[in-house]
Amino acid sequence: MKNSVITRITGTGSCLPEQIVTNEDLSKVVDTSDEWISSRTGIRERHLAKDETTASMAAEAGMRAMQDAGIGAEEVDLLIVGTITGDYVTPSTSCEVQEILGAVNAVAFDINAACAGFMFALHTAHAYLQSGIYKTALVLGAETLSKIMDWKDRSTCVLFGDGAGAAVVRAFEKGKAEDKAAGGILAFEQGSDGRKGKVLSCLGRRNNNPLIENPFIPSYVSMNGQEVYKFAVNTVPASIQKVLELAGLETGDIKYFVLHQANIRILQAVAKRLKADMEKFPVSLDHCGNISAASVPILLDEMNRKGMLEKGDKIVMSGFGGGLTWASAVLEW
């Protein structure tokens, strides 16, 4: 079965919470300013959940992706959500989404790879589809990061937002007359470095049994911004170079680099190292902030809905973040 299958994205969707919070709004909560945030990060506003949950946003994004792909929920046989902010420890966000959508024939599970979560989920779906085990996957990235922020810590809380993005990924047999049986996902590369996990972390629930003396203290995201910046500007260009090599392509062959939306300066540094024009790096962080696993699929959906993607376009997608984790793919639209 291997190598006789093309896997391609046939539909995209996204969902952002209704509430928009500007930098100006945040300056009333913490000691910051629009000037500081926008000049250092490019972020101007973000959507923060009120009633929305990680699963409700993921389900909405998933429904829009299925509509775009023209498939029904019962056709999905694999449902994977990249998230670090599920509503429950168990059930998984993917099982919640399965229930909401009525994707009764799907096997559903979550992947924790922080800001690379959607890309790890996409690679997992790609491998399952390539092997012939499943045919139709719904791949999502969904986060309610606002619930793990310390809203007194101006160095982190201004950077993040909430939302969800989704893609339908389907298997097609190579060589068939169907026009979808060509192109698709051409190459993937991913990696992890657990030794540097503490530069961007959020402690989980602690042991709270009655024999333990220290009371449970909730923990929030903590980050060494400069270390994360260094990691991103070194690892991401290398990962992209590697995946381009695997696909037998060069930077100049790529129409768009759809990168995780952490910081405009990271995007600019990656563009410079790849010797690529910044116009090839679409941006959603200005109105979304960093939505971890949801950033890449939300941006992809925005591009798709604006008609920026044409059949045959070659694009690179890349996610990177906590873990540390990173993953890049080349695909032909």
Provide the token pair at 209.
């049994």
DSSP E strands in the chain: the ranges are: 5-15, 20-22, 45-47, 78-82, 107-111, 136-144, 162-173, 184-192, 200-201, 222-223, 256-259, 314-321, 325-332
Question: Which residue of 38, 40, 130, 273 would you call a contact of ligand COA, by CB under 6 A?
Answer: 40
- Min dist. Cβ of residue 227 to ligand COA (A): 8
Show contacts with ligand COA in window 120-159 (CB under 6 A): 154-155, 158
Residue 23 is among the residues annotated as catalytic for this protein = no
Question: Which residue of 290, 304, 325, 328 would you call a contact of ligand COA, by CB under 6 A?
Answer: 290
Question: Which residue of 65, 138, 236, 262 would you call a contact of ligand COA, by CB under 6 A?
Answer: 262
41 touches ligand COA by CB under 6 A = yes
- DSSP secondary structure letters along 239-284: HHHHHHHHHT--GGG-SEEEE--S-HHHHHHHHHHHT--GGGS---
Residue 126 is among the residues annotated as catalytic for this protein = no
Q: Which residues contact 76 (CB under 8 A, 6 or more apart)?
A: 66, 101, 103, 105, 106, 136, 137, 138, 168
Site size for ligand COA, by CB under 6 A?
19
228 touches ligand COA by CB under 6 A = yes
Residue among 146, 169, 138, 119 at smallest CA distance from 16: 146
- Min dist. Cβ of residue 226 to ligand COA (A): 5
Question: Which residue of 184, 289, 321, 323 would you call a contact of ligand COA, by CB under 6 A?
Answer: 321
Residue 115 is among the residues annotated as catalytic for this protein = yes
Question: Which residue of 19, 22, 25, 32 would you call a contact of ligand COA, by CB under 6 A?
Answer: 32
- Min dist. Cβ of residue 263 to ligand COA (A): 4
